[in-house]
Amino acid sequence: MEEQAIALRELAGQIAVCPRCDLSKTRTHAVPGEGSPNADIVFIGEGPGFYEDQQARPFVGPAGKFLDELLASIGLRRENVYICNVIKCRPPNNRDPLPGEISACKPWLDRQLEIIKPRLIVTLGRFSMNRYFPGQSIGRIRGQAKRVDDVTVVPLYHPAAALHQASLRRTIEQDFLKLPAILAEALKKNDQPREPEPVQMQLL
Ligand code: URA
């Protein structure tokens, strides 16, 4: 097994028994994430819901079914990308994650991204958008690619929100169709050397 797969598997083992916040007391299962360990694209949702908590897998409920359709619309399957969440354990009654829960869980997501080293990060919903663009309005910046450090980040609406509102559904469908071109750009950027090439000294 390749190094990244091993590292992610080890990390998932640690996440499964994480005691860092009170969600560990109410969860059925932690939900680390799944997909390709060297994916170019990582999708970051909010947190597990009922079905995810039962199955220990991300996006397996109705929002997940819609996410699968959105992926298929650009010729991708789950196995081609990595899918995870800002928080790894389900908040009771699917309430919003608390700031303390998000910060307790942050090192897990940081480490996942360090291992996978994606070229493109797609945030789904405002909690994962906040990780990169705190205080911004999702309605204003959705669908726009921005460079954050050495990676391209695109904030999108959360598929669950889109399921309940027809206009958001069309918006997220259209935003998804922009992802292949954004990824192609991101790959080009990452192919460029990060530092200027050292000037060759001419031997006199
Ligand atoms: N919503 C999310 O944000 N994440 C999941 O894994 C499922 C639903």
CATH 3.40.50.700 fits 2-183, yes or no: no
What's the rounded mean pLDDT across residues 82-101? Answer: 97
Distance 109 CA to ligand 1 centre (A): 14
**pTM (2 decimals)?**
0.93
Best residue for ligand 1 mutational test, from 59, 83, 90 (most atoms within 8 Å of Cβ): 59
Residue partners of 123: CB distance under 8 A and separation at least 6: 44, 129, 131, 132, 153, 154, 155, 156
Q: Model confidence over 26-49: pLDDT tens digits?
A: 999 999 999 999 999 999 999 999
Structure-token pair, residue 88:
């790894």
For 1, other C-beta atoms within 10 Å of its C-beta total: 9
| Domain parsing of the chain, residue ranges | 2-183
Query: Does residue 193 register a pLDDT over 90?
Result: no
Q: Whose CA is nearest to atom 7 of ligand 1?
A: 59
Structure-token pair, residue 175:
């935003």
pLDDT classification of 204: cutoffs 50, 70, 90:
very low
Distance 1 CA to ligand 1 centre (A): 28
Class of residue 97 by CB neighbours under 10 A (exposed 0-12, middle 13-18, buried 19+): buried
In the chain, DSSP assigns E strands to 34-35, 41-45, 82-85, 120-124, 146-148, 151-156
What's the rounded mean pLDDT across residues 176-200? Answer: 80
Q: Model confidence over 166-181: pLDDT tens digits?
A: 999 999 999 999 999 9
Structure-token pair, residue 26:
């109410």
Determine the Cα–Cα distance for residues 108 and 112; give it in Å rounded to an integer: 6
